[in-house]
Amino acid sequence: MEAIRPVPRTLLRDRAYEAIRDAIVAGEIEPGAVVRDAELAERLGLSRAPVRDAFSRLVDEGLLESKPQSHTRVTPLVASDVRDAAAVVGAMHELVTRVAVPRLEAADIEAMRAANERFAAAVSTTDVDAALRADDELHDVLVRVSGNRAAAATVARYTPLIRRLERQRFGEGGSCRSAGLHERLIETCAAGDVDGAVLVTAEIWRGLEELAD
């Protein structure tokens, strides 16, 4: 029975964090809602300790706010917070794009094209989850190829703040990102045009900053 081992505490903490984060981003736990560790622990089938660890991380990332001896609740959707997050994430994407473009191989370009096709199809059917997942997959190619772990960690930390607004806009029948802009990004990447790819990347993320207004 060597395959049956205790699940590491860190894994339980990560599971709790990802589940609660995704529920907040999806709007299943609404802005302003009070969250309780005991209640969420029961729903997740976990003890309270990993949920508390997840709460601490989500407070640090701006998705929860905590008042000692009072409550922990989901932060409101504040335009300035989203704008700041988009500026930081956009800068990281510009950085990784500059590094990654000269390293891209044909398979990477094809992966970006396939992701953009899924993105366009999802937008046309207003499938929010699929659209945002495809968007992540497209941009993650450049993050991965760049090999910049610090940039990847920064993107992962601040993207959920932006996703909440994007989901809201999708729910209102709009689209926060353009398959056409993605196509321009892919073409500049395929041509090895570093400066062009960085400019398109900047345009994509500038649009998200403006969306927050």
Distance CA 125, CA 202 (A): 27
Cβ-based neighbour number of residue 22 at 10 Å: 14
State the pTM of this model: 0.84
Give the pLDDT score at 179: 82
Distance CA 135, CA 199 (A): 18
The per-residue DSSP string of 50-96 comes to HHHHHHHHHHHTTSEEEETTTEEEEPP--HHHHHHHHHHHHHHHHHH
Give the pLDDT score at 1: 44
Here the tokens at position 134 are 């495809």
Chain centre distance of CA 64: 16
- Please say whether the beta carbons of 139 and 204 come within 8 A: no
Query: What is the gyration radius of the CA atoms in the chain, in angstroms?
Result: 19
Helices 9-25/149-171 angle, 10° precision: 40
Q: Which residues does 62 contact at the CB level (< 8 Å), separation at least 6?
A: 75, 81, 85, 161
200-205 long-range contacts, CB within 8 A, separation 24+: 201/90, 201/93, 201/94, 201/97, 202/90, 202/94, 204/90, 204/93, 204/177, 204/178, 205/86, 205/87, 205/89, 205/90, 205/93, 205/94
Instruction: For the chain, 213 residues long, give each residue's pLDDT as a single digit of tens.
Output: 455 566 566 688 888 999 999 999 988 999 999 999 999 999 999 999 999 999 999 999 899 999 877 889 999 988 888 899 999 999 999 999 999 999 999 999 999 999 999 999 998 888 888 988 999 999 999 999 999 999 999 999 999 999 888 887 765 655 556 789 999 999 999 999 999 999 999 999 888 777 776
Q: In what order do the strands lie in the sheet with 64-67?
A: 34-35, 71-74, 64-67
Handedness of CA 202, 204, 205, 211 (dihedral sign): positive
At 178, phi and psi to the nearest 5?
Answer: -110, 130
